[in-house]
C-alpha cells in the first residue's frame, strides 16, 4: 500500500516541485550545436528551448519564432536598453540575445531550459546565472570545422574567414565550461549531451 505523506503546513505544492535548471550549449560556429540541439529536442519534447533573438537575415528554411526571432538592429538595441535579455552578444556582425523573462519563468516553474548560444553569451550566463550547467561542443579538429563551415555554402569568403578566426579563439575557451563534448560521431555526441542533461 502506498503511503501518502502529509505536506507540512506552510509548504505549497510549487515548493515540492523539482527545481528547474538552465543548460547552456555553446561552441564555435559550424561545430554542429544547432543540429545537436534539434535532435535533443526531438527526443525530449519536455525540454523548454529558448528561441534566441537575432538581427541576422533568415537562412533558407528558417522560420521566424521557431529558429530565431528576426528583428532589426534598432529594435534589438532598444530591448538591450530595457534590460530584456538574459544575455546578448555581437557575433559575425550581428546581434544575438536570449529573452530574459521567458527563460526565468520556465526555470522557476521546474522546467529544464536549454539554450544554444554563442561563447560571449554563454560567458555572461555563467556570471549572472552560476548554477547553470554549461556544455562546450568541440570539433574533432580545426580542419574538420573549416570543412563544415565551407560546406554550408551560405557565407561569403570574408564571412567564412571571420568565422574561422573567431572559432580559433573560441576553442581556447572550452576549459571555462563544465563539460566538453567532441562532435566527431554525431550519435555519440548526442548521447553524451543527453547523459549530461538527464544524468
* Per-residue pLDDT at 48 exceeds 90: yes
Q: Do residues 96 and 83 lie in contact, with contact meaning Cβ atoms separated by under 8 Å? A: no
Of 8-12, 70-74, 81-85, 139-143, give the lowest mean pLDDT range. 8-12
Predicted local distance difference test score (pLDDT) of residue 199: 79
Q: Where are the domains of the chain?
A: 18-198
Per-residue confidence at 29, pLDDT binned at 50, 70, 90? confident
> 161 or 113: which carries more pLDDT confidence?
113
Residue 166 has phi, psi (to 5 degrees) of: -60, -40
Q: What's residue 16's pLDDT?
A: 43
Average pLDDT over residues 62-69: 93
pLDDT tens figures, 116-175: 998 999 999 998 888 999 999 999 999 999 998 888 766 788 888 888 998 999 999 999
Q: Cα-Cα-Cα-Cα dihedral of 86, 18, 196, 163, to 10°?
A: -10
Per DSSP bridges, beta strands 53-54 and 133-138 are: unpaired
The CATH class of 18-198 is alpha beta
What is the DSSP secondary structure assignment for residue 174, as one 8-state letter? G
Per-chain mean pLDDT for the chain: 88
The whole-model pTM stands at 0.81
Query: What is Dmax (Cα atoms) for the chain?
Result: 69
Amino acid at each position: 500500500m502506498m503511503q501518502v505523506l502529509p505536506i507540512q503546513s506552510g509548504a505549497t505544492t510549487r515548493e515540492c516541485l523539482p527545481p528547474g535548471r538552465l543548460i547552456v550549449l555553446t561552441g564555435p560556429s559550424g561545430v554542429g550545436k544547432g543540429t545537436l540541439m534539434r535532435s535533443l529536442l526531438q527526443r525530449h519534447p519536455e525540454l523548454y528551448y529558448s528561441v534566441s533573438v537575432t538581427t541576422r537575415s533568415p537562412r533558407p528554411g528558417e522560420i521566424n519564432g521557431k529558429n530565431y526571432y528576426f528583428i532589426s538592429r534598432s529594435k534589438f538595441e532598444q530591448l538591450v536598453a530595457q534590460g530584456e535579455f538574459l544575455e546578448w552578444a555581437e557575433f559575425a556582425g550581428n546581434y544575438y540575445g536570449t529573452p530574459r523573462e521567458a527563460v526565468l519563468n520556465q526555470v522557476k516553474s521546474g522546467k529544464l531550459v536549454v539554450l544554444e548560444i554563442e561563447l560571449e553569451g554563454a560567458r555572461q550566463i555563467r556570471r549572472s546565472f552560476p548554477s547553470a550547467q554549461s556544455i562546450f561542443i568541440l570539433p574533432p579538429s580545426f580542419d574538420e570545422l573549416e570543412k563544415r563551415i565551407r560546406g554550408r555554402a551560405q557565407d561569403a569568403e570574408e564571412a567564412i574567414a571571420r568565422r574561422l578566426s573567431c572559432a580559433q579563439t573560441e576553442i581556447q575557451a572550452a576549459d571555462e565550461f563544465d563539460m566538453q563534448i567532441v562532435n566527431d560521431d554525431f550519435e555519440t555526441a548526442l548521447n553524451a549531451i543527453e547523459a549530461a542533461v538527464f544524468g
